[in-house]
Amino acid sequence: MSTRLLPAPSVSADQNLKQKALQVHERLCAAYDCPIGYFHDLDPLSELVSSLLSHRTKNADSGRAFRQLRERYPTWEAVCEAETAEIQTLIAPCTWPEQKAPRLQAILRQIRSERGELALDFLEHLPVAEARAWLERLPGVGPKTSAAVLSFSRLRKVALPVDSHHHRVVQRLGLIPMNVSVGPSHVLLAAQLPPEWDAQQVYDNHEVLMLHGQRVCHFRGPECPRCVLLDLCPTGSRSLQPVP
C-alpha cells in the first residue's frame, strides 16, 4: 500500500515578510558595516528635545538649533522660564520654530508638573510599551519620537524609530503597503524583527534603512542599478524593465 505524501504547509505571508526583512537587514548591515555606533549619548529628556526639534528638519539644522538652545540655556528649567520669542529665535534653523518653541515649553512644563522634576530617567524602569505610552501622552509626541527617545538616548532600549527615509525604503521593498503612513508603520515593522534582538540590533536596523534611503534609495532618482537589494525590490525591478 503506497503512502500518500501530503503537501508541505505553505509559509504564511507574515512569515515571508519576516524572512525578507531579515534578508534586507543582513545585506544592508554588510553594506553599511554594522554594528553602527550611537550618534548621541544624551539623557532621555535632552533626547526628547532633540527629537522634537528634528521633526521635518535636516540633522545639521536641528543639531545647530539644539546647540544654540543649550549654549544660551544650560538647564531645561531655564528653557521653561524663558521668553517664548527668544526660544523661537534660538531654534530658528528648524522648520516651524514658531510652533516648536511654545510646544517645547508646554511639554517641559507638563513633565515638571507630573513628575515634580525635569527628568525622564524614570523611563529606564518601565517596560518599553509603558514608556512609549507615557511619552505619547505629551503634545506632539508620536511613535517615532517615543521610539527615538528610548533607543537613541543613553537608556538604549529596544525600540524601532521609523523616519521618512526608512519608511520610503520599506514601502518600495514591499515590507509594508504603500498606503501605510509612517505612524502605523512602527508596529508593523517592529513585528517583522526577531523578538530576541537586543537594542543594538534594532538600532542598526533603523540606521541601515535610513542610510540606504539617504545614499541610494532617494526620494527622487533612486539609484536602483547599484542597490544591493535590487533582486528583493519589486519597485526597483519594475523601474529597470525595458519600455515596450
What burial letters (b/e) apply to 171-186, b meaning 16+ CB within 10 Å? Answer: bbbebbeeebebeebb
Per-residue model confidence as pLDDT tens for the chain (244 residues): 444 454 444 458 789 999 999 999 999 999 999 999 998 899 999 999 999 999 888 889 999 999 999 999 999 999 999 999 999 999 999 999 999 999 999 999 999 999 999 999 999 999 999 999 999 999 999 999 999 999 999 999 999 999 999 999 999 999 999 999 999 999 999 999 999 999 999 999 999 999 999 999 999 999 999 999 999 999 998 877 665 6
Q: Is residue 6 part of a domain?
A: no
Largest Cα span, the chain: 89
Distance CA 153, CA 150 (A): 6
DSSP code, position 126: S
Q: Does 132 share its domain with 71?
A: yes
Domain that holds residue 134: 44-152
- Is the same domain home to 133 and 74? yes
- Domain assignment of residue 3, yes or no: no
Say if residue 100 is exposed, middle or buried (CB neighbours under 10 Å; 0-12, 13-18, 19+). Answer: buried
Identify whether residues 112 and 187 lie together within a single domain: no
Using alpha carbons, list the distances in angstroms from residue 173 to 37, 44, 69, 167.
25, 32, 39, 10
- CA atoms of 139 and 106, how far apart (whole Å): 8
Q: Which of 111, 126, 152 is the last residue of a domain?
A: 152
Would you say 197 and 190 are in contact if contact means Cβ atoms under 8 Å apart? no
